Structure 1
Amino acid sequence: MYVTPPMQNHPRPAAGPPWWLVIGPGLAALIGLFLLTVIYRFDGRSVLQVDLHLSNQALLLSGLVAYLVAAAIALPAGLLLGARFPTSVTVPAICFMLLGVLLIAFTPNGGLLLVGRVLNGLGAGAAIGVTAALIRWLRTGRGVAAALTAGLGVVALAIAPLLGGLVSDTFSFRLVYLIAALFVFVALIVAAVIGIVALTAAKRPTQPMPYAMPYPPR
């Protein structure tokens, strides 16, 4: 009498996100960190502060505190939703950043500067949260991705005042934000394309695993 061997269920590990899914939000996060410190310079008052007639306190509140508060508000949303809906969170975040950068590029006064910095902070906070959430759930290369992202983030924070001051002194602080808008737009395209690729890959039908059952002896 033939007895069918018992089936053994081998638990499959939960699949983490592919590493290339980090590129879109990671690029946006680096741009956000660059924008955080680009309004300052190491050798005195920035051109933005002089042209908009801002005091040191006004620049601190409108330029730095507003940015950090907005980023702190948006960061939990990126952390909580970023692993499951990375594109749905990243694309609106980059749109906020793009709108904020353009507002600052054409601002006539400190009022629009405050609005632009808040939008920049919201976008940057969400993008940083998504990046951290995706790196956390990577199955391989998690340490390398975290170290690379953190290192590039520190570089972005450090070089922003230097590059921003150089371009502002040579041309105008508005050109700094127009160039930043170009990079933000590129990040938006990258995030959208990667999201489409990920959605297409998720909808692709998977081939069922063949199950070979031995035939009973005749």
Structure 2
Amino acid sequence: MTVPTPSQREPLPAAGPPWWLVVGPGFAALIGLFLLTVIYRFDGSSALQVELDMSSRSLLLSGLVAYLGAAAIAFPAGLLLGARFPTSVTVAALFPMLLGVVLVAFVPHSGLFLVGRVVTGLGAGAAIGVTAAVIRRLRSGRGAATGAAAGVGVLALAIAPFLGGLLSDALSFRLVYVVAALFVVLALVVTGVVGLVALTKKPPVRPMPYPPQA
């Protein structure tokens, strides 16, 4: 009596992304969260609001609501595409962030300020979406990564008005965005390096099927 042999082995389960793949989009998302609240300060009107002669309502609509609206539009794209192409989507998100930050840094009036905030918000929303997508696909340490990302994000939101106020009082609010632009460039470099490392990692070799037997 001949014992049948399996024609092939069970396929290996798909491996989740390594934890360090979160670094690039996470860094970009952190910058985006920082830029969300940096336009405010805790002890009165911000230097940006005074220099651009904006009312509190204008700052709220142009600086905060427009930013959040643009981020909400871009977030689903980052969440869906970032699961498969985290590096490419993060790089694509960082370029509008850089453009928006530069616009705000050299903005002559409140009209261009609105454009700069919308463009920056689009990039920030996409980066946050990629970060969420990568963390969701982690096979181990997902809870720790979620907690760390949430904690650092809340810290960025809270500390941005304080740091932004210090730099604005010392020099100008424009310096805040020049420094932010440098950090966006750094995030581009970090994301590119992480992406190259990910490309060099070989996927696990699947077992070859058994040869058919007569």
TM-score (norm 2): 0.92
Identify unmatched segments of 5+ residues in structure 2: none
Partner residue, 1:118: 118
Change (3 A) 1:15 1:29: same
Matched letter for residue 18 of structure 1: P
- Would the alpha carbon gap of residues 152 and 53 (structure 1) be closer, same or farther in structure 2, given more than 3 Å must change? same
- Amino acid of the residue matched to residue 27 of structure 1? F
Q: Deviations over 1:119-150 (max 9, x none)?
A: 11001100000000000000111000000000
- For residue 142 of structure 1, what is the aligned residue in structure 2? 142
Q: 1:59 & 1:109 partners in 2: Cα distance? A: 12
Tell me how far apart the structure 2 counterparts of residues 8 and 195 of structure 1 sit (CA, whole Å). 33
Instruction: Answer with 76-85 or 8-17: which moved more.
Output: 8-17
- For the residue of structure 1 that corresponds to 2:39, the secondary structure is coil
Give RMSD over aligned pairs: 1.9
The match for 1:199 is: 199
Sequence identity, in percent? 70
Residue 164 (structure 1) aligned with residue 160 (structure 2)? no
- Equivalent position SS for 1:84: coil
- Structure-2 change in CA distance of 1:207 and 1:60 (3 Å): closer
- Greater radius of gyration (CA): 1
How far residue 212 of structure 1 moved from its aligned partner, in angstroms, is: 8.9
Asked if 1:33 is matched to 2:62, the reply is no
Task: State the alpha-carbon separation in 1 of the partners of residues 38 and 5 from structure 2.
Answer: 67
The gaps in structure 1 that reach 5 residues or longer are 214-218
Q: 1:10 to 1:211 in 2, by over 3 A?
A: closer
Query: Residue 85 of structure 1 corresponds to which residue in structure 2?
Result: 85
User: Secondary structure at 1:156's aligned position in 2?
Assistant: helix
Whole-angstrom CA distance in 1 between matches of 2:60 and 2:206: 59
The residue that corresponds to 1:216 in the other structure is none
CA contact (8 A) 2:74 2:126 kept: yes
Task: Compare 128-137 and 189-198 and name the one that shifted more.
Answer: 189-198
The match for 2:102 is 102
Given residue 120 of structure 1, which amino acid in structure 2 is its aligned partner? T
Cα drift, residue 158 of structure 1? 0.2
Paired letter, 2:134: L
* TM-score, normalising length: structure 1: 0.90
**Cα distance change of structure 1 residues 118 and 89 upon mapping to structure 2, 3 Å threshold:** same
| Letter in structure 2 aligned against 1:165 | G
Number of residue pairs the alignment of both structures matches: 211
2:67 alignment counterpart: 67
Shift, 1:200, TM fit: 3.3
CA displacement 1:45-70 (0-9 Å, x = unmatched): 00000001111111111100110000
Partner of 1:47: 47
Q: Does 1:184 align with 2:192?
A: no
* 1:211–1:70 distance in 2 versus 1, CA, 3 Å: closer
Name the CA shift for 1:100/1:196 in 2 (closer, same or farther; >3 Å).
same
Is 1:19–2:31 an aligned residue pair?
no
Supply the distance in 1 between the matched residues of 2:101 and 2:27 (Cα, whole angstroms).
16
Q: Which moved more, 1:68-77 or 1:184-193?
A: 184-193
Relative to 1, partners in 2 of residues 1:15 and 1:32: Cα closer, same or farther, differing over 3 Å? same
Amino acid at match of 1:134: V
Q: Secondary structure at the match of 2:45?
A: coil
